[in-house]
């Protein structure tokens, strides 16, 4: 039998995934999903603003997943830049360290990601220049689905799960495969020693 939702939380099934969220966030609707998590839109009843809530898939299933989740959380909390998505809140439905299995991150809701806009083919030269400028303003894992754009063509960089400090030897997995620069592929474990993104545009 499933355990009841924690006090002050409610439970909802979304696309075969159980979400336990505080009652302040209402109207959960699926927005998208990726390799590491799912995002839902919701209304924050305290601020009356639309927010995006990200639930990571089993963030503590391995040491690598736990480090990735921790890095993303720290970066979102500390980076303050107009072109980087910010962290509004973090919560867990788990009531003790012994049962701590998951957490959710709350961020501002942004209309759509750049990959959706590109598929519609509605980008003018002026819009492309403005978006590119904002990407360069913000700058590991840049790809259209990690770039959110609102109706005013203002861009926010999303998803810091793969970001990290430079170390002498890094993990081999860096950047979504189809968006890797040649220098990352060729210098597999030492990719901080070369300049990246030279070919990404």
Residues marked active site are found at 141
- What is d(CA 110, CA 150) in angstroms, rounded to the nearest whole number? 6
Cα–Cα distance for residue pair 106/13, rounded to 1 Å: 18
| Total residues found in the chain within this entry | 201
55 marked as part of a ligand binding site: yes
Residue 98 carries which DSSP code?
G
DSSP summary character for residue 3: P
Closest CA to 157 of 90, 79, 57, 59: 79
Sign (positive or negative) of CA dihedral 187, 192, 193, 195: positive
From residue 53, alpha-carbon distances to 18, 31, 102, 188 in Å are: 13, 9, 13, 33
Is residue 124 packed enough to be buried (19+ CB in 10 Å), middle (13-18) or exposed (0-12)? exposed
Which residues line the annotated binding site for ATP? 55
């Amino acid at each position: 039998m499933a355990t009841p939702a924690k006090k002050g939380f409610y439970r909802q099934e979304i696309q075969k995934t159980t979400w336990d969220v505080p009652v302040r966030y209402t109207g959960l609707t699926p927005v998208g999903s990726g390799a590491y998590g799912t995002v839902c839109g919701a209304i924050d009843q305290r601020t009356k603003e639309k927010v995006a809530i990200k639930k990571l898939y089993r963030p503590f299933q391995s040491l690598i997943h736990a480090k990735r989740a921790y890095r993303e959380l720290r970066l979102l909390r500390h980076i303050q830049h107009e072109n980087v998505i910010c962290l509004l809140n973090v919560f867990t439905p788990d009531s003790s360290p012994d049962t701590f299995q998951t957490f959710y991150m709350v961020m501002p809701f942004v209309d759509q990601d750049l990959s959706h806009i590109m598929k519609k083919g509605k980008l003018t030269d002026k819009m492309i220049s403005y978006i590119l400028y904002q990407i360069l303003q913000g700058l590991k894992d840049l790809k259209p689905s990690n770039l959110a754009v609102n109706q005013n063509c203002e861009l926010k960089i999303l998803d810091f799960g793969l970001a990290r400090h430079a170390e002498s030897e890094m993990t081999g997995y860096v950047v979504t495969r189809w968006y890797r620069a040649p220098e990352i592929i060729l210098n597999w474990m030492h990719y901080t020693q070369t300049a990246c993104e030279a070919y990404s545009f």
